[in-house]
Amino acid sequence: MAAMDDLSLRPATPADLDQVLAFWKVAAEGTSISDDGDGVARLVERDPDALILAERGGTLVGTVIAGFDGWRCHLYRLAVHPEQRRTGVGRALLAAAEERFAALGGRRADAMVLDRNEPAHHAWRAAGYGHQPQWSRWVKPLADRPG
């Protein structure tokens, strides 16, 4: 993947997952039912290039999940360590995700952003993304369903 100054980007491996989950507790807003070792391991196994990590000096400073289902491009877990914000980490992660989508034939990316996360709204706008107030997210947990 790309390098910027001392910033390096690479896909996550199974060995990174505990570190990623710990990082999200510090750098990400909110959690999801799939924010556990098994959920992230399934992502990395199914699509090894989807979870992109940013590191400086060997330290994890950012993540983004660039998921592509063959039809649509979805961005999740764009998270930058609080001490690394406004240093280009998020911009580099989004550029890598968008390059991945373009290479896969994607035509539009969407991002899940919490309504209450105002600082993130500014970052997404600055990156060229626009809010679509006509859409609401509907969810249904599938956990604990009989197999």
Please state, in angstroms and as integers, the Cα–Cα distance from residue 79 to each residue in 11, 26, 84, 135, following that order: 15, 9, 10, 23
- Domains present along the chain, CATH in parentheses: 3-126 (3.40.630.30)
8 Å CB contact between 77 and 24: yes
Q: What is the pLDDT of residues 90-141, one digit of tens each?
A: 999 999 999 999 999 999 999 988 888 888 899 999 999 999 989 888 888 8
Residue 20 DSSP SS3: helix
Instruction: Give residue 63's pLDDT.
Output: 97
The fraction of the chain above a pLDDT of 90, given in percent, is 73
Please state, in angstroms and as integers, the Cα–Cα distance from residue 54 to each residue in 5, 22, 49, 96, 121, following that order: 12, 15, 13, 10, 21
pLDDT of residue 68 exceeding 60, the answer is yes
pTM of the model: 0.89
100 closest CA partner among 137, 122, 68: 68
